[in-house]
Amino acid sequence: MSSPIHYSTCPACDSSDIHRVLAAKDHTVSQKTFEIWECARCSMRFTQDVPQQDDIAGYYQSENYISHSNTSKGLVNRLYHRVRERSLKNKRKLIQSYANTEGMPRLLDVGCGIGSFMDHMRQHGWLVEGVEPSDPAREMAAKQYGLFVYPPNKFFDNSLGDFDIITMWHVLEHVHLLNEYMDRLTQLLRPQGTLFIAVPNYTSYDAGKYRENWAAYDVPRHLYHFSPESMRLLIDRHSLKLQAVKPMWFDSFYVSMLSEKYKTGKESVLKGGIMGSLSNLNTLFHKEECSSLIYVIGK
């Protein structure tokens, strides 16, 4: 196993003006504590001393990691499954409102997990392809949905072609090669295409309340922790254009319920639901303070 990655400069903008802000615990696998640092120039936060790309797979090996296991264990995960179909429908409607092509547009889902979103879009007439680094997740996509999902090296393969729509649903925070991925996304996107990147927002109301217990820090799997400002600067750095920022209303509830469990050691739908409601109410007045945000991006 290689030495962990210790950043001396910001992994997004290369500034050396970085400092520690808090420490968060890995509640899913290792129970270890990791420091989170912040860049004073671009405001992105990042997990310090994370495992190298070849060493991090073990931190995903848990039946509680829902995007890879599809688990229904626990009340919070059961509620997640109940709202997932509504969430998939909302994503599809958002994408359709930005689709600029006729017929069957070509869509790439990067970090597609077990393929639930790919399957949903395929059922509604889309040509879908997906890339996923987890072997078990790709196997489940084949078993559950009959989908062939590419391994991660395909993402940088020129034979992949280009796409009308590219989606990354809570994926960018996981990739070690942040700027390389952004460059490649720019290459893969057709001139009139649209890129959708969803990431947690550490400037949200619920993040401020739960602090180190905020579930969306999800260390060390989440390498980066974005603010709207840091996402704007990252998008601009790669010569892309931000078209819109959209809230992900359901995430406020899911993240708050998990955060409540991390904070108290007990599941509480009531307390988590109240915090999720307060976070979403705050978003009505401060539109970029939702627990998670979707960045709609073009060339």
What pLDDT was estimated at residue 34? 98
Domain definitions of the chain by residue range: 60-298
Q: Tokens 């196997």, residue?
A: 139
pLDDT, average across residues 27-36: 96
3-state secondary structure of 24: strand
What pLDDT was estimated at residue 252? 95
| Whether the predicted pLDDT of 69 surpasses 70 | no
Q: What percentage of the chain carries pLDDT values higher than 90?
A: 86
Q: What CA–CA distance (Å, rounded) separates 79 from 82?
A: 5
What pLDDT was estimated at residue 64? 59
What pLDDT was estimated at residue 268? 87
HEC-encoded secondary structure of 247-266: ECHHHHHHHHHHHHHHHHCC
Contact between 203 and 297 under an 8 Å Cβ cutoff? The reply is no
| Whether the predicted pLDDT of 199 surpasses 70 | yes
Between 65-69, 209-213, 241-245, the lowest mean confidence (pLDDT) is in: 65-69
| Whether the predicted pLDDT of 46 surpasses 80 | yes
Confidence of residue 96 (pLDDT cuts 50, 70, 90): very high
| Whether the predicted pLDDT of 58 surpasses 70 | yes
Strands 127-131 and 106-110: parallel
Six token digits for residue 194: 């649209």
| Whether the predicted pLDDT of 170 surpasses 80 | yes
pLDDT, greater one: 62 or 163: 163
> Among residues 238, 274, 243, 282, which one has the least CA distance to residue 256?
274
pLDDT, average across residues 265-281: 94
| Whether the predicted pLDDT of 65 surpasses 70 | no
What pLDDT was estimated at residue 79? 58
Confidence of residue 37 (pLDDT cuts 50, 70, 90): very high
Q: What CA–CA distance (Å, rounded) separates 102 from 192?
A: 12
What pLDDT was estimated at residue 75? 52
Strands 33-39 and 18-25: antiparallel
Fold of the 60-298 domain: Rossmann fold (3.40.50)
